[in-house]
Amino acid sequence: MPSNKLILEKKELPESIKMLSELNDKFYSAEGRYPMVYIETYGCQQNEADSERILGILTSSGYEITQDKQKSDLILVNTCAVREHAELKALSNTGNLKHLKETNPNLIIGVCGCMIQQEHRADDIKHKYPYVDFVFGTNMMHQIANIVYTARMKKGRGFFVEDYQINPGTMREDIPVVRESSYKAWVSTMYGCNNFCSYCVVPYVRGRERSRKKEMIVSEIRSLVEQGYREITLLGQNVNSYGKDLYGKAEFGSLLRDICKIEGNFWIRFMTSHPKDATEELCEIISENPKISNHFHLPMQSGSNDILKAMHRGYTREEYFRYIDLLRAKIPDICITSDFIVGFPGETEQDFELTLDALKRIKFDQVYSFVYSKRKGTPAEKMADQIPEQVKKERITRLLEIQGEISGENNKKYEGKTVSVLVEGESKTDPDMFTGRCYHNKLVHFKKPQNAQDIIGTFVDIKIEKGDAFSMKGNIIQ
Taking only the tens place, the pLDDT of each residue in 257-305 is 999 999 999 999 999 999 999 999 999 999 999 999 999 999 999 999 9
Write down the pLDDT at residue 169.
58
* DSSP-derived secondary structure for 65-129: E-S-GGG-SEEEEEE--SSHHHHHHHHHHHHTTHHHHHH-TT-EEEEEEGGGGSTTHHHHHHHH-
CATH top class, domain 303-413: alpha beta
Helix, coil or strand: residue 343: coil
In this structure, how many other beta carbons lie within 10 angstroms of the beta carbon of residue 85?
13
Phi, psi of 28 (to 5 degrees): -110, -15
Q: Can 179-293 and 303-413 be said to share one CATH topology?
A: yes
- Give the Å distances, CA to CA, from 417 to 269, 293, 363, 440, 459: 22, 17, 20, 13, 16
Closest C-alpha to 203, from 235, 165, 173: 165
Provide the whole-model pTM: 0.92
In this structure, how many other beta carbons lie within 10 angstroms of the beta carbon of residue 120?
10
Name the helix (H) or strand (E) containing 406: helix 389-412
Closest C-alpha to 370, from 404, 342, 338, 337: 342
**Contact yes or no for 437/423 (Cβ under 8 A):** no
* Maximum separation of any 2 CA atoms in the chain, in Å: 69
Name the helix (H) or strand (E) containing 411: helix 389-412
Write down the pLDDT at residue 424.
96
Whole-angstrom distance, CA of residue 217 vs CA of residue 190: 10
In this structure, how many other beta carbons lie within 10 angstroms of the beta carbon of residue 277?
18
Write down the pLDDT at residue 120.
79
Residue-wise pLDDT for 94-134, tens only, equals 999 999 999 998 899 999 999 988 877 888 888 899 899 99
Whole-angstrom distance, CA of residue 124 vs CA of residue 375: 16
Q: Annotate 241-273 with b (16+ C-beta within 10 A) or e (fewer).
A: bbbbeeeeebbbbbbbebbbebeeebbbbbbbb
**Contact yes or no for 137/112 (Cβ under 8 A):** yes
Sheet with 366-371, edge to edge strand ranges = 295-297, 335-342, 366-371
pLDDT lower than 50: segments of the chain: 1-11, 164, 166
All residues at 6 or more sequence positions from 248 whose CB lies less than 8 Å from its CB, including other chains: none
Whole-angstrom distance, CA of residue 232 vs CA of residue 467: 26
Write down the pLDDT at residue 31.
86
Q: Are strands 459-467 and 472-476 parallel, antiparallel or unpaired?
A: antiparallel
Closest C-alpha to 329, from 283, 364, 386: 283
Q: Are strands 267-271 and 295-297 parallel, antiparallel or unpaired?
A: unpaired
Domain 13-153: assigned CATH number: 3.40.50.280
Distance of CA 429 to the CA centre of its chain: 24
Domain ranges, ordered by start, for the chain? 13-153, 179-293, 303-413, 418-476
Q: Are strands 366-371 and 335-342 parallel, antiparallel or unpaired?
A: parallel
> Directed axis angle between helix 317-330 and helix 349-362, to 10°?
10
Whole-angstrom distance, CA of residue 183 vs CA of residue 466: 27
- Give the Å distances, CA to CA, from 360 to 227, 354, 356, 357, 470: 43, 10, 6, 5, 17
Whole-angstrom distance, CA of residue 56 vs CA of residue 49: 11
Write down the pLDDT at residue 168.
57
**Contact yes or no for 338/368 (Cβ under 8 A):** yes
Whole-angstrom distance, CA of residue 471 vs CA of residue 194: 35
Task: Indicate the burial class of 190 (C-beta count within 10 angstroms; 0-12, 13-18, 19 or more).
Answer: buried
* Alpha-carbon dihedral sign for residues 239, 241, 243, 246: negative
CATH top class, domain 179-293: alpha beta
Fold of 418-476: OB fold (Dihydrolipoamide Acetyltransferase, E2P) (2.40.50)
Where do runs of H (alpha helix) occur along 251-365? 252-260, 280-288, 305-311, 317-330, 349-362
